[in-house]
Structure 1
Amino acid sequence: MIHPDPEDSRLSVPVSGFDQTGAEVEINVVTERALTLYLNSQEIVTMMTIGDRPDLLAVGYLLNQNMLRGDDRITGIDYDDDLEVVVVRTERETDYEDKLKKKVRTSGCAQGTVFGDMMERFDDIRLDPDARLRTSALYKLTRTINTAPSLYLAAGAIHGCVLCQEDRAVAYMEDVGRHNAVDKIAGWMWLENIAPQDKVFYTTGRLTSEMVIKTAMMGIPILVSRSGFTAWGVELARRVGLTLIGRARGQRFIVLSAPQRVIHDADPSQAEAEPARSRRKGATSGKEMS
């Protein structure tokens, strides 16, 4: 499985402080770096990110903002760590000056944004009606993801997104904003030509309109979260026929859209309860914290 490296010193740093008793402690905190994205010669956006996989983040962002078309050919992706700049070059000439004027802030963390015409092709999306998710696979996935090594366990203050197939996690990305994590997966899928029809998308964050739109635009028919819903997120999921599963923790979950894709093949009372997700030693003052 593709996943972040919790031991990567660039992704978190130790910081000294004091706890509730006044005792000195040292904890790991995630990094935040500015990354400026260019599409050919045009500056598109500056994002705050942990700094890993800038190529995937750049391509996924452009795809989900409808700035890359399905038939576009990328001729190069250049990243300069010192300048904190990533440049995506395409064979097709691009000019998004007017589009950039129609920016709309969303409910995503770290000031997530979409463009005003991002939904211009939303109603044309057709998700695979034959995709299915067995509840036995869902229970296994949530348990596996919850206990997988991650930057969250090392430092917290971060969101994760996972691309899954049946009961397997295929790609796991983390970032300070869940929109960045989903963009990284979108970029990886596009660059590696990964088919979306039989996939499940899992996120640790809320099921907002932005998460629903991006998942649907990637062509993934099922979206799962351990967190809750927003009303507009549910409305958009129902509009496009996206299966929306929230509050998926341990033996419980709630489906608010397209429930026909869920096959109830497991007795919830027989599923394992979700273990406490503890930070590993080093994230706090030598003690694990739930």
Structure 2
Amino acid sequence: MDLLSTQRLIQRYNHKEWTEEFDDIVKEYPLTIHVNDQEFATIVCSPEYLEEMVVGFLASEGMLRIHEQDVKKIIIDEEKGFAYVTLTKDHVASQDFYSKRFIGSCCGKSRQSFYFQNDVKTAKTSMTKTTIKAERCLALMKQVQQDSEVFLATGGVHNAAIATQDDIIVTRADIGRHNALDKLFGHCLINRVAVRDKVLLFSGRISSEVLLKAAKMGVGIMLSKSAPTDLALAMADELNMTTAGFIRGERMNVYTHAHRIVR
């Protein structure tokens, strides 16, 4: 957890009393990505699993599909905050298709300005036959939250996980909800983890960008602790994806393609 948080001496007010104590504060780290010697983007993130995040981010933007075929080399300079990616010549970024931009860690529409250009090619309509019991949705979401040491200590990260009905396979945390998903995507690509029959668990809001990123990963069931947006649900309807939100305690709302969550 030391990679993702630091301690700071603070003044705490509680029930009319002041105390001085150390508090865990989540770290924020800017990483500038260069692709084939061109500056591509700067992402503000948590400083962990950076190569996975770079791979997942580039895959979600349509710049690579198969890690071992499309990526020649990735060098991460953690001290200076740079990632240098060399892709095969057939996958050089076009200046007309992509433009240099800044991507923050906030929960706003920071990526909406460019995802429309390549969504048609990269977002996948789900064909999964996977189902999951409602009780397992609740249990898996609870497990993701309980296992996140960084969230419990700082309250400052989003969590995302890939799971089967029985257990969680991999979990990633980041100050940016997009980054957490990119780290999962990158992990699955690098380690050849098939996700078509898996479930995606997420602590943040299901916005249209988040839904599209899940579709690009290839999952058909997305479970969230938070709320969806109307555009995200319209996209989920079209992409044949099951979405459920407000998974808290013993309750949840199923919004689209409810046949995959069984009683």
Shared fold (TM-score, shorter chain, > 0.5): yes
Structure 2 residue matching 1:45: 3-state secondary structure? strand
Check the 8 A contact 1:142/1:250 in 2, yes or no. Answer: no
Q: Output the CA distance in 1 between the equivalents of 2:75 and 2:169.
A: 26
Structure 2 residue matching 1:145: 3-state secondary structure? helix
More moved, 23-32 vs 85-94? 85-94
Q: Output the CA distance in 2 between the equivalents of 1:196 and 1:18.
A: 45
For normalisation by structure 1, the TM-score amounts to 0.82
Instruction: Give 1:85's aligned residue.
Output: 82
Cα RMSD for the two superposed structures? 2.2
Check the 8 A contact 2:203/2:226 in 1, yes or no. Answer: yes
Q: Output the CA distance in 1 between the equivalents of 2:43 and 2:160.
A: 18
Instruction: Give 1:263's aligned residue.
Output: 262
User: Equivalent of 1:19, from 8, 12, 34?
Assistant: 12
Q: Output the CA distance in 2 between the equivalents of 1:62 and 1:177.
A: 16
Structure 2 residue matching 1:22: 3-state secondary structure? strand
After superposition, where does 1:105-184 map in structure 2 within 5 Å? 109=107, 112-114=110-112, 115=114, 116-121=116-121, 125-184=124-183
Structure 2 residue matching 1:234: 3-state secondary structure? helix
Instruction: Give 2:217's aligned residue.
Output: 218
Q: How far 1:102 sits from its partner (Å)?
A: 8.7
Q: How far 1:226 sits from its partner (Å)?
A: 0.8
Sequence identity percentage = 25
| Runs of at least 5 residues in structure 2 that lack an aligned partner in the other structure | none
Q: Output the CA distance in 1 between the equivalents of 2:89 and 2:191.
A: 20
Note closer, same or farther for the CA distance 1:196–1:160 as it changes in structure 2 (3 Å cut): same
**Counterpart code for 2:20:** E
Check the 8 A contact 1:108/1:210 in 2, yes or no. Answer: no
Check the 8 A contact 1:205/1:226 in 2, yes or no. Answer: yes
Q: Output the CA distance in 2 between the equivalents of 1:256 and 1:110.
A: 22
More moved, 198-207 vs 92-101? 92-101
Check the 8 A contact 1:11/1:52 in 2, yes or no. Answer: yes
Q: How far 1:87 sits from its partner (Å)?
A: 1.6
**Counterpart code for 1:47:** I
Q: Deviations over 1:148-179 (max 9, x none)?
A: 14211122211111111112111111111100
How many residues get paired?
256
Check the 8 A contact 1:102/1:117 in 2, yes or no. Answer: no
Note closer, same or farther for the CA distance 1:110–1:10 as it changes in structure 2 (3 Å cut): farther
Q: Deviations over 1:104-126 (max 9, x none)?
A: 98996277424240323256x23
| Runs of at least 5 residues in structure 1 that lack an aligned partner in the other structure | 1-5, 265-290
Q: Output the CA distance in 1 between the equivalents of 2:46 and 2:109.
A: 15
Q: Output the CA distance in 2 between the equivalents of 1:105 and 1:180.
A: 10
Q: Output the CA distance in 1 between the equivalents of 2:172 and 2:200.
A: 11
Q: How far 1:86 sits from its partner (Å)?
A: 1.0
Instruction: Give 1:269's aligned residue.
Output: none
Structure 1 residue matching 2:254: 3-state secondary structure? strand
Instruction: Give 2:32's aligned residue.
Output: 36
Check the 8 A contact 1:225/1:245 in 2, yes or no. Answer: yes
Q: How far 1:195 sits from its partner (Å)?
A: 0.8
User: Equivalent of 1:45, from 17, 22, 41?
Assistant: 41
Q: Output the CA distance in 2 between the equivalents of 1:86 and 1:102.
A: 15
Q: Output the CA distance in 2 between the equivalents of 1:104 and 1:241.
A: 32
Check the 8 A contact 1:40/1:89 in 2, yes or no. Answer: yes
Check the 8 A contact 2:41/2:101 in 1, yes or no. Answer: no
Q: Output the CA distance in 1 between the equivalents of 2:105 and 2:153.
A: 26
Note closer, same or farther for the CA distance 1:45–1:103 as it changes in structure 2 (3 Å cut): closer
For normalisation by structure 2, the TM-score amounts to 0.90
More moved, 37-46 vs 220-229? 37-46
After superposition, where does 1:51-70 map in structure 2 within 5 Å? 51-70=47-66
Q: Deviations over 1:56-97 (max 9, x none)?
A: 010000011111134842121111122211122222340331
Large movers: runs of 4+ above 3 Å: 69-72, 101-108
Check the 8 A contact 1:173/1:185 in 2, yes or no. Answer: yes
